[in-house]
Structure 1
């Protein structure tokens, strides 16, 4: 355990940020799962709406720094390609 005051503060700040980052990553995973569920059902309207929501969440969280911007772009691109492939069929 830390003895120095600044080290103790860093531990508490890190713990808080870890919880926030975990919550944000969970929001992304939930949004993607909802999109994939709508896609699996074949409901294109719901899939499109869920894609827009997931895209928005991913970019918001990347802007906060929890997710790298290239990782966010990769995730959105993957979702978009799945949506476009489903619309083509």
Structure 2
């Protein structure tokens, strides 16, 4: 454990930020999985709607700096590719 005052504060700050960021990333991953499941079931309409919400969640995570922009773009492109392959 750090014994310098600024290092102790930094540890506490990092933990606080991690706790705030965790639900955003988790929600993003959950929406991505939801789209993948709907694509697997071949539910075109449901997958389209879920894709739009997943894109919003990915963009929000990128905007907050939780996920790198290239990572977010890759996730969106991958989902769009699977959705297009479904015949949407």
Please confirm whether the aligned pair reaches a TM-score higher than 0.5, indicating the same fold. yes
Match of 1:57 in 2: 57
* Structure 1 alignment gaps of length 5 or more: none
Aligned length: 88
Mapping 1:12-51, distance limit 5 Å: 12-51=12-51
Higher relative contact order (CA 8 A, sep 6+): 2
Report runs of 4+ in structure 1 exceeding 4 Å deviation. Answer: none
1 or 2, which has the higher helix percentage? 1
Distance 1:34 1:3 in 2: 45
Offset of residue 81 of structure 1: 0.4
Cα-Cα RMSD: 1.3
TM-score, with structure 2 as normaliser? 0.91
Mean Cα deviation higher: 17-26 or 73-82: 17-26
> Which runs of 5 or more structure 2 residues have no equivalent in the other structure?
none
